């Protein structure tokens, strides 16, 4: 039955470990919606028959004296409570609110802006340097703390491009330079608002190599559609290691990340940078 509903709902492919559980909850909610649609449809047809003018030429101002509809309403509320308490809350606690071990995960910073995704990677030490909005300036658009030794080998920000290895826990810290955006990767079943001044973590583990679109789920301005130029590249571990080594070498020979310019506004629908 689940497979039938997936086809009817045209759910997009799942490419993360927790994505199937999210889809299961969506399908359970649709079971309830179908039952309500059929049930209330039958009730509506019944009332048209039961209280038509030919059967009751004179109005009955007392109306229905049975409390069956109240019991039905109570049953619907009980089912919704079961979905919330026994399915939604435990699923959220186990798969969304429980984060993987940070020391064993790939940690990435994503800074949204009108209208692009700026992606900061840690260098070989695996630690992203500290950032403070008070340090933001023309020379340091990301507010990176130059006194933090962890920032010395960090990559200059990539634009609209995230690379992760398959079957590896990933923690992404999301924030914004300007307005509220929303970082959304449908195939990973991940959505997290990007709010100025807050660094909010979200996580996933990709299970299928490929290229996936990154969307902004908040209307963030006139160039909102340009945010869809972002791409998540899920690589094999071997290909990811090659990509990382090349970027680390480039970062070592380049200017510090504090001097990297901010992203320019991309043309709506522009192709993402290639790996």
pLDDT tens, 220-242? 999 999 999 999 999 999 999 99
Q: Which residue, 170, 218, 171, 174, is CA-closest to 198?
A: 174
Which residue in this structure is represented by tokens 């962890």? 150
pLDDT tens, 66-120? 777 778 888 888 988 988 888 888 888 887 888 899 888 999 999 999 999 999 9
**pLDDT computed for residue 107 by the predictor:** 92
**pLDDT computed for residue 122 by the predictor:** 87
pLDDT tens, 201-211? 999 999 999 99
Q: pTM (2 decimals)?
A: 0.78
**pLDDT computed for residue 64 by the predictor:** 67
CB atoms closer than 10 angstroms to residue 79: 15
Question: Distance between CA atoms of 34 and 30, rounded to whole angstroms?
Answer: 6
Question: Distance between CA atoms of 30 and 9, rounded to whole angstroms?
Answer: 9
Domains of the chain as residue ranges with CATH: 2-96 (no CATH), 103-259 (2.60.40.420)
pLDDT tens, 136-161? 788 777 788 888 887 877 777 889 99
Which residue in this structure is represented by tokens 């998540």? 232
Residue 164: is its pLDDT beyond 80?
yes
Peptide bond into 115 cis (omega under 30): yes
3-class SS of residue 21: helix
């Amino acid at each position: 039955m689940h497979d039938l509903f997936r086809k009817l709902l045209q759910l997009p492919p799942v490419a993360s470990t927790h994505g199937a559980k999210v889809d299961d909850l969506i399908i359970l909610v649709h079971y309830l919606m179908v039952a309500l649609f059929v049930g209330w449809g039958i009730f509506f047809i019944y009332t048209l028959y039961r209280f038509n003018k030919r059967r009751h030429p004179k109005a009955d101002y007392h109306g229905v004296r049975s409390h069956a509809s109240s019991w039905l309403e109570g049953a619907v509320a009980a089912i919704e409570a079961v979905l919330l308490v026994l399915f939604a809350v435990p699923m959220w606690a186990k798969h969304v609110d429980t984060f993987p071990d940070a020391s064993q995960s790939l940690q990435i910073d994503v800074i949204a802006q009108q209208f692009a995704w700026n992606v900061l990677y840690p260098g070989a030490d695996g630690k992203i340097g500290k950032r403070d909005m008070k340090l933001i300036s023309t020379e340091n658009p990301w507010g990176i703390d130059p006194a933090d030794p962890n920032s010395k080998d960090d990559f200059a920000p990539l634009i609209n491009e995230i690379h992760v290895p398959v079957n590896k826990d990933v923690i992404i810290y999301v924030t914004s330079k300007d307005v509220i955006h929303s970082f959304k990767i449908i195939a990973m079943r991940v959505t997290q608002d990007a709010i100025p001044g807050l660094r909010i973590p979200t996580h996933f583990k990709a299970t299928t190599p490929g290229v996936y679109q990154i969307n902004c789920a908040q209307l963030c301005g006139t160039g909102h559609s340009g945010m869809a130029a972002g791409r998540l590249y899920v690589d094999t571990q071997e290909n990811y290691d090659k990509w990382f080594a090349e970027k680390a070498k480039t970062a070592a020979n380049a200017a510090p990340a504090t001097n990297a310019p901010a992203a320019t506004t991309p043309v709506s629908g522009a192709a993402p940078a290639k790996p």
